[in-house]
Amino acid sequence: MHRTLIDRDPVLVALPTQHPLAQSPSLSLADLADEAWIGTPVTGAQLDLLAELARSTGFTSRLAFEGDHFRTVLGWSRTGSASPFFRPWP
């Protein structure tokens, strides 16, 4: 069987300005191995898929919060408590 990459689906992560990784132009999932993650339908990121990719990279993701209130998600991110994932808006 031959596999061909058709497209990549970018995912963004929200980090507080003072976070050590915040100034990095790009990150891998492995860079976020020690972070607590936020899952919410508002973000649009497929957290199950990201968790599966994390396992294949050699670590288990830590889901710290799951909910659908956008301001709460951003609040967790601002305090550095957890990192939400987002899909880019057009």
Write phi, then psi, for 69 (nearest 5 degrees): -95, 110
Q: Whole-model pTM above 0.75?
A: no
CA distance linking residue 23 with residue 40, whole number of Å: 24
Predicted pLDDT of residue 77: 81
Q: Is the pLDDT of residue 90 over 70?
A: no
Check residue 88 and give its pLDDT: 64
pLDDT digits (tens, 9 = 90+) for 24-72: 998 988 898 988 888 776 555 677 778 888 898 899 988 887 777 778 8
